[in-house]
Amino acid sequence: MNQFTKKTNSPDPGAEPGRTQTPWVAGLIFKMAMMMVIIAAAFWARVHLNDKTEQLAREKNRITREIQEKRTEIQTLIAQRETLRSWDNINSKIKQYNLALRSVNPSQVRYMKRFEGQVSAPSQYGGDTRVADTSAGADRTSGGVQ
């Protein structure tokens, strides 16, 4: 009998006896399942990253709003400080509380030279910076600094 014409029970001439033709279906199902898992993971990662991005954008907006509020508060406090430090306000408080304060007498003003180094003795002064003498009896007219 010819070996090529011999009939066998195997479905495939080169297949092993007892093995069926269904393994390619299982491999295809496994590959499809792996692709679906990879697609689902990519979709989940994208959704997670979008959520995180939106959360960070909201946090940034909140912090930016807080910074702007603090800057506005600082500007308000600076304006209030300048108002309180103005001579008109100080003069009105002096009158309101009947304080025995008055403006500086020009004879109480002494001039000092600005020195850009180490100051070793008061004798180095003698020039252009105004200093008020607030001691009692400030009617001195000598040129030195007391």
Asked whether the CA dihedral 97, 98, 102, 103 is positive or negative, the reply is positive
CA distances from 57 to 6, 45, 52, 54 (A): 76, 18, 9, 5
The residue written with tokens 């309101």 in the block is 96
Bridging pattern class, strands 129-132 and 109-112: antiparallel
Phi then psi for 130, rounded to 5 degrees?
Answer: -85, 135
- pTM of the shown model: 0.45
Distance of CA 20 to the CA centre of its chain: 69
Show pLDDT as tens, one digit a residue, over the chain (146 residues).
556 665 555 555 555 555 556 678 888 999 999 999 999 999 999 999 999 999 999 999 999 999 999 999 999 999 999 999 998 999 899 889 998 887 788 888 888 887 776 655 555 445 445 445 545 444 444 444 44
